[in-house]
Chains A and B, each alone.
Chain A
C-alpha cells in the first residue's frame, strides 16, 4: 500500500512538471500554430538561471530565502527569454510555419549546445532548502516534500491560467484566437499582443518546471529541458491542442502511467506505455481528450 501511495504522489509530481511545460506549449500552438521546439530551452534557461543565482547569491545566507529569490529571478529570466524569442524570431516568421519550426528546432539545439559550452555536460547539484529534501509520511509512505511543492505549483498555475482565460479580456482573446485567429483580427483586435503574452506565460511556466525539475532530480543538466519536452509534446497531443484542462488531465495520466509501469512491469517500459497510450488516443480521439477549444 505504501509503495502504491508513494508511486501515486511521485507520479503526480512528475505530472506537475509535464503540465507546466505542456500548458505553455499547448496555448502557443493553439493560438499561434507554432510548434515551439525551443520550449525545452525555456525550462533549461529557468533552471540554469535559478542554479546560477542560487550558487552566487551566498550573501543572502538562509538557503530557503536564497532558493526563493533565485527561483523568482529564474522565472523572470524565463519570461524575458520567451518574450524575446517571440518578438525577434517568431513574429518575423508569422504564418510561415515551416520556417518557424526550423528556427525553434535550431534555437533549441544551439541553446542546449551553448549551455554545454559554458557550464559543461555534467549535471550540476541544485541548492534546495533542507525541508524540501525531507519526507512526510502518508499512509505509511515516506513522500519527499518537494513532491507537494511541485503538485501545489502546478495546481496554482492551472488555477491561474484558467482564471486568466476565463476572467480577463486577454484570456477571451486567447480562447477565441485558438478557434479562429483571423476572425479575432477582423474584430479589430491586435492578436500579436496576445501572442507575446502567451509566449511570456509559457516561458514562466516552463521556467517554473525548470526550477522544480532541479529539485525533483536533485541536479540539472543541459539536456533536461529537451528530455522533458518530448513527454510534454505527448501530453499536449493527448490532452488536445490549445486545451489547458486537457493538458492537466493528460499530464496526470502520463505521469501516473509511467510511474506504475516502471515499477510494476519493468524500469523503462513506462516510456513505451506512454507511446502506446498516445497511439490509442490518436486512434480513438484524433483531436485529443479535450478537442480544439481552449478550455
Chain B
C-alpha cells in the first residue's frame, strides 16, 4: 500500500477496521481499514467492482460483515441499520433508491427524523423539489431523482453522509450542479464520497482512499494522489488530464 502524508488532521469521525464481506462465494472485502477525518470530503476510489459500494453498505449494516466500525468513538458494527442511521448518518445510494410509487413530498416526509427537518435548506438547494412535491417520483428524470436522494439525506442534521456515485449517469450540466451542492453540503457534514468522476473528486475531496480487489491500496491526501498521474493510472485505470 502506498501512502502520502497529511492523511489525518483531526481525530477520525469514522474508522473502518479489518472489514470483511462475503457475498455468496465471493470474498468482496478482504480486510479493509481506513479512517474518515471529521469534516470535509474523503473520496473512496477504485475501479468498478473493487468493493466501494459494498464498503458503504457494510458501514450501514445493509450487508453482513465482519470487522470493526468505530463512529464518533463508539463501535457500531453490532447495531441494526436503522440504529446506525439514527446516529446522524445520511445515505445517498448508488442507484438513488427513491421510492418510485411515492410522491416527492412523501419521499421527504418519510426521511424526516429530526424534530425540525431542514426543508429550508433542501428547497434552497433544490427549488424544483418544492414545485414537484405532488409528482410521483417514478416519473422524475434521473437528475431530479438524484436531487431527491441527496435532499433526503440533507433533511436531517447528519454528521456523516455516505454518498455513493452521485453523478453516475448524469448529464455534464447536472454533474456540475451536484458537485456544487456537495461542496456546500461539505460545509455542514463530513462526506464519504464514492465517485468515478475525478474532476468532481479534485474539486471536493481532501483525502482519498483507494480500493483494489477488496483491499485498501492507497490512503492519503486527495490532491497529492491526483497529482501523480502514473499512480492514478495504475490504481484507477484512468488518465488524469
Contact = CB atoms under 8 A, between A and B. Distances in A.
B102 A172 contact: yes
A172 B102 CA distance: 8
Contacts of B156: 188
Between B91, B101, B102, B106, the greatest number of chain A beta carbons within 10 A of the residue's beta carbon is seen for B101
Contacts of B91: 186-187
A293 B81 contact: no
A172 B109 contact: yes
A99 interface: no
Interface in B67-119: 80-82, 85-86, 91, 93, 97, 99-102, 106-107, 109-111, 113
A207 interface: no
Contacts of B23: none
Contacts of A175: 99, 101-102, 106
Between A185, A186, A293, the greatest number of chain B beta carbons within 10 A of the residue's beta carbon is seen for A186
B101 A293 contact: yes
B101 A180 contact: no
Interface size on A, as a range, is: 20 to 34
A182 B58 CA distance: 12
Contacts of B102: 172, 175-176, 179
B101 A189 contact: no
Contacts of B93: 183, 186
A183 B82 contact: no
B152 interface: yes
A189 B80 CA distance: 10
A180 B99 contact: yes
A262 to B, nearest CB: 37
A178 B110 CA distance: 14
A294 B100 CA distance: 11
A185 B85 contact: yes
B60 interface: yes
A185 B81 contact: yes
Interface string A160-189: 000000000100110110111011111111
B62 interface: yes
Contacts of B60: 186
A175 B103 CA distance: 11
Contacts of A185: 62, 80-82, 85
A119 to B, nearest CB: 42
A183 B164 CA distance: 13
Nearest to B109: A172
Nearest to A95: B64
A173 B110 contact: yes
B110 A179 contact: no
Going nearest first, the 7 A-B pairs with the smallest beta carbon separation are A293-B101, A188-B85, A185-B81, A188-B86, A183-B97, A176-B99, A186-B91
Given A178-B101, A179-B102, 19 more contacts: A172-B102, A172-B109, A176-B99, A176-B106, A176-B107, A179-B100, A180-B97, A180-B99, A183-B93, A184-B110, A185-B62, A185-B85, A186-B60, A186-B85, A186-B91, A187-B110, A189-B82, A189-B110, A293-B101
Interface of B: 60, 62, 80-82, 85-86, 91, 93, 97, 99-102, 106-107, 109-111, 113, 152, 156
16 contacts: A172-B109, A175-B99, A175-B101, A175-B106, A176-B102, A179-B99, A179-B100, A179-B101, A180-B99, A183-B93, A183-B97, A187-B110, A188-B82, A188-B113, A189-B110, A190-B80
